[in-house]
Amino acid sequence: MKELMEPIRTLVDFRRGVVNPDRVIERKTSDMQGMYVDELALKKLLSQGNPFIYQIREVNIPQETGHIIYSTTIIYPGKVGQEYFMTKGHFHAKEGTAEIYFCLEGEGYLLMQTRQGRVSAIHMKPGVLGYIPPYWGHRTINTGNKEFVFLTLFPGDAGHNYQIIQKCGFAKIMVEEDGRAVLKDNPKYTPLNG
Ligand code: PA5
Ligand code: NI
């Protein structure tokens, strides 16, 4: 039998996420190159100090079957051109694994997409739980004017595959139009088998 793991107590602040994470991953504008439609706007942001786009606060959980990994993500408010700040987005390496996103603060969208290009979006606000079924790639977008914070829980053996999104992008983008968040076709999207 494997050695027994000790239970963990984690304090989660609704506004700042996991209070004492084992690991903090920061993603800056420079980490998002090629992901936004407006390349010039991205370059401009880079020259204006390369601001942080989002931060992941992780707790050390074994990346193994049977475990549930959890972390919080904070997406800062802002835009690259007309497109809102967002995560890179990914499929799970083990694609038949699901995930739960639970919004703690702020507002935004959980955008999901299948390998075949089917898209679904859930509007997130505090108290909303989004269930990402197996085989759906996912990205989150901050459409509000303050930090968008959510808790994520997923199987220990799910893993992350960023390559598909890096290569194809998402079929839809979330842009501001007349002060409102609007989901539009992504002119840079290249379908996986297209
Ligand atoms: O596992 C998840 O789906 C989340 O914890 C994300 O990793 C997090 O929100 C950051 O997004 P991404 O991994 O696409 O950069
Ligand atoms: Ni995920």
Mind listing the pLDDT tens digit for each residue in 44-53?
999 999 999 9
Partnered with residue 128 across adjacent β-strands are: none
Question: What's the pTM value of the predicted model, to 2 decimals?
Answer: 0.97
Residue 194 has pLDDT above 70, yes or no: no
Closest ligand to 56 CA? 1
| Strand, helix or coil for residue 134 | coil
Mutate to test the pocket of ligand 1, among 31, 104, 152 (most ligand atoms within 8 A of CB): 152
CB of 88 within 6 A of ligand 1: the answer is: yes
Put residue 166 in one of left, alpha, beta given phi > 0 → left and psi -120 to 50 → alpha: alpha
Closest ligand to 140 CA? 1
CA of 48 to the centre of ligand 2 (A): 30
d(CA 145, CA 149): 12
Work out the number of other CB atoms within 10 angstroms of the CB of residue 156.
15
d(CA 178, CA 113): 26
Residue 169 has pLDDT above 90, yes or no: yes
| Strand, helix or coil for residue 163 | helix
User: What burial class does residue 34 get, using C-beta atoms within 10 Å of its C-beta: 0-12 exposed, 13-18 middle, 19+ buried?
Assistant: exposed
Lowest mean pLDDT among 16-20, 54-58, 145-149, 188-192: 188-192
Residue 37 in tokens: 């439609």
Which residue's CA is minimally distant from atom 5 of ligand 1?
152
- Segment 163-168 mean pLDDT: 96
